[in-house]
Amino acid sequence: MENKMFCYQCQETAGCKGCTMSGVCGKKPEVAAMQDLLIYVTKGLSAVTTALRKEGKEVTRDINHLVTLNLFTTITNANFDRQAVMDAVRRTLAEKEKLTGQLSEEAKADLPEAAIWDGGDGSEAAFDTKAAAVGVLATKDEDIRSLRELITYGLKGLAAYTKHANALLQDKEEIDAFIQSALAKTMDDSLTVDDLVALTMETGKYGVDGMALLDKANTEAYGNPEITAVDIGVRKNPGILISGHDLRDLEMLLKQTAGTGVDVYTHSEMLPAHYYPAFKKYPHFAGNYGNAWWKQKEEFDKFNGPILMTTNCVVPPADSYKDRLWTTGATGFPGCRHIDGAYGETKDFSAIIEQAKACPAPTQIETGTITGGFAHEQVFALADKVVEAVKSGAIRKFVVMAGCDGRQKSRDYYAEFARRLPQDVVILTAGCAKYKYNKLDLGDIGGIPRVLDAGQCNDSYSLALVALKLKEVFRLDDVNDLPIVYNIAWYEQKAVIVLLALLYLGVKNIHLGPTLPAFLSPNVTNVLVKNFGIAGIGTVDDDLKLFFG
Ligand code: SF4
Ligand code: SF3
């Protein structure tokens, strides 16, 4: 049977090979085609901007933001709206044409095909024809394709983090310039496997920079996360549920809901917002509702009020709540209302608030609290206690279990692994992977909880800072000599940039599960195994033995 699409960018890709008829995530072939085309024209635009920079010409912030928005739009579970993606293609073509006019004739002659393609006659049919020729499989060599995609997915994750920092008015031109030059290089046929491996590592370096920029943006705007117990029950007022990673959207929503009688609850990756001091002052910031993204169908139905998706992960909604699901930023779903808002603008959430007022309060699905807030400054404040516990042997090891959660049954491994960890092992986590074990009562070691949640997936940066701090305190030369092991769960492309960032920082022997990425060819996997000791996961029994003896 002929492929209708080809996508293998996430962990849940069909048969661990590729989605060819329709996405396991719900992405339809016609949306996949437009996303392929959006990546293609964004790479074309990036070739133009990279050439402009080489000629000493300026590339505006708006263009940088367009590139990151486009990449973010194609992340798993962000945007299912073909029309919105097509509009992005048109916008990108128009900007590219303007910028190409500023290039010298010499530079123009060197542009790749993606930079020259002008949209044909501009019709939808012309877009579809082109899309069919420029997808992932257009690169024939399996290893080159694997590395090009690894880099592209890392850049998508990096773009998402950059975008959040941008929303807080923080920009770093070097990061944008790198994203664009790396995108252009993924179309350069003169680059060898070795060149692309080097570019992969460089992507990891910028991954660290991107996460640092976002950390700076978040903490300067909202303070440093602190230990916080978050309520997971419900109150009596109607509520709005906010999901995704964008803290600026949350801030605007909290301000606009103040005094309206509507409470605000976080969902999935928005949970760590409760750890920031700046949000604690809102009495109607009620708590966290539900679990990781993949349970949303069941949980959104019960929430009863509107849900605002600020970023991935969106699951195609059930009819029972589709009219209550709103998107903003890079997210979109056909038939769901979208709230616009440009850089620096205040978004208008009044329509969502009005809808909430007419809804019943959420149905309670859980009670109790979960504790988190162990980002770098909070852990540094506890450093003496932690170091003492390591020296005395009360803490034998740390295990980093950061990353993503997902719907596959094989991920039960992580809950069981956490439950059966030796009592003197502490989990360091970030991202939505924590929902596999953050409601288990794993206790504490001398007052240090056995699950230390730093925050969102981007707060894996905090975990890296903690590791570097411990290396300094214990006067070690190598981060790999620390009593820290890595058992990371991945799903979408933000996890790819987190992984590349850790590799860049020199972390070895990372275990990645529940399956290794389908986009890693056997040869590229070998490079990662040989140079970094990357491995998959085994059974819980085997892995417990492997990690802890
Ligand atoms: Fe398949 Fe994942 Fe791509 Fe969706 S994002 S189409 S599930 S590989
Ligand atoms: Fe989760 Fe989608 Fe990756 Fe930010 S919300 S970690 S999967």
pLDDT, one tens digit per residue, over 446-498 is 999 999 999 999 999 999 999 999 999 999 999 999 999 999 999 999 999 99
* Residue 184 shares a structural domain with residue 36: yes
- Could you give the percent of the chain with pLDDT greater than 90? 99
* Residue 320 shares a structural domain with residue 406: no
CA–CA separation, 376 vs 131, rounded Å?
44
Q: What is the CATH number of the domain that holds 75?
A: 1.20.1270.20
Question: Could you tell me the strand order of the sheet in which 325-328 lies?
Answer: 285-288, 263-267, 239-243, 307-309, 325-328, 337-339
pLDDT tens digit sequence for 298-332: 999 999 999 999 999 999 999 999 999 999 999 99
pLDDT tens digit sequence for 31-88: 999 999 999 999 999 999 999 999 999 999 999 999 999 999 999 999 999 999 999 9
Coil, strand, or helix at residue 323?
coil
372 CB less than 6 Å from ligand 1? Answer: no
* Residue whose tokens read 């940039």: 497
Q: Domain count of the chain?
A: 3
* Residue 216 shares a structural domain with residue 232: no
Answer whether residue 284 is part of any domain: yes
Answer whether residue 238 is part of any domain: yes
For ligand 2, what atom is nearest to the CA of residue 494? Answer: 3
pLDDT tens digit sequence for 145-192: 999 999 999 999 999 999 999 999 999 999 999 999 999 999 999 999
pLDDT at 10 > cutoff 90: yes
For ligand 1, what atom is nearest to the CA of residue 8? Answer: 8
Alpha helices in 20-112 (DSSP H): 29-54, 61-73, 82-100, 105-109
Could you tell me the distance, in angstroms and rounded to a whole number, from the CA of residue 95 to the centre of ligand 1?
29
Answer whether residue 9 is part of any domain: no
Tokens linked to 405 = 């959660």
* Residue whose tokens read 């941008």: 166
Answer whether residue 366 is part of any domain: no
* Ligand 1 atom 2 nearest Cα: 10
Note the Cα 23 to chain centre separation in Å.
19
325: which strand partners?
A: 307
Range of the domain at 277: 228-357
**366 near 380, Cβ under 8 Å?**
no
* Residue 285 shares a structural domain with residue 170: no
CA–CA separation, 131 vs 231, rounded Å?
47
Nearest ligand to the C-alpha atom of residue 149: 1
78 CB less than 6 Å from ligand 1? Answer: no
* Ligand 2 atom 4 nearest Cα: 457
For ligand 2, what atom is nearest to the CA of residue 456? Answer: 4
* Residue 238 shares a structural domain with residue 293: yes
**66 near 89, Cβ under 8 Å?**
no
What is the pLDDT, as a whole number, of residue 61?
97
Pairing status of strand 448-449 against strand 307-309? unpaired
Nearest ligand to the C-alpha atom of residue 12: 1
Answer whether residue 5 is part of any domain: no
Tokens linked to 81 = 């709206």
Answer whether residue 364 is part of any domain: no
What is the pLDDT, as a whole number, of residue 419?
98
* Residue 197 shares a structural domain with residue 122: yes
Coil, strand, or helix at residue 131?
helix
Other beta carbons within 10 Å of 24: 17
* Residue 232 shares a structural domain with residue 215: no
**74 near 311, Cβ under 8 Å?**
no
pLDDT at 284 > cutoff 80: yes
* Residue 300 shares a structural domain with residue 405: no
**Is the peptide bond prior to 514 cis by the omega test (within 30 degrees of 0)?**
yes
Ligand 1 mutation target, pool 27, 30, 31, most atoms within 8 A of CB: 27
Mark 184-221 as b/e (b = at least 16 C-beta within 10 Å).
bbbbeeebebeebbebbebbbebbbbbbbbbbebbbeb
**19 near 6, Cβ under 8 Å?**
yes
Which of 339, 357, 375 is the endpoint of a domain?
357
* Residue 245 shares a structural domain with residue 195: no
Alpha helices in 141-189 (DSSP H): 142-167, 173-185
Q: Which helix (H) or strand (E) holds 16?
A: none
The structure's pTM equals: 0.98
268 CB less than 6 Å from ligand 2? Answer: yes
Answer whether residue 131 is part of any domain: yes
Which of 220, 244, 279 is the endpoint of a domain?
220
Answer whether residue 441 is part of any domain: yes
For ligand 1, what atom is nearest to the CA of residue 518? Answer: 8
What is the pLDDT, as a whole number, of residue 361?
98
Q: What is the CATH number of the domain that holds 305?
A: 3.40.50.2030
What is the pLDDT, as a whole number, of residue 3?
86
Average pLDDT over every residue of 367-378: 97
* Residue 183 shares a structural domain with residue 241: no
pLDDT tens digit sequence for 396-436: 999 999 999 999 999 999 999 999 999 999 999 999 999 99
Which residues have CB under 8 Å from 263's CB, separation 6+?
235, 237, 238, 239, 240, 257, 284, 285, 286
pLDDT at 1 > cutoff 80: no
Q: What are phi and psi of 482, to 5 degrees?
A: -75, 155
Tokens linked to 32 = 């996949």
pLDDT at 2 > cutoff 90: no
* Ligand 1 atom 5 nearest Cα: 76
Average pLDDT over every residue of 274-291: 98
CA–CA separation, 361 vs 350, rounded Å?
18
* Residue 97 shares a structural domain with residue 206: yes
* Residue 455 shares a structural domain with residue 353: no
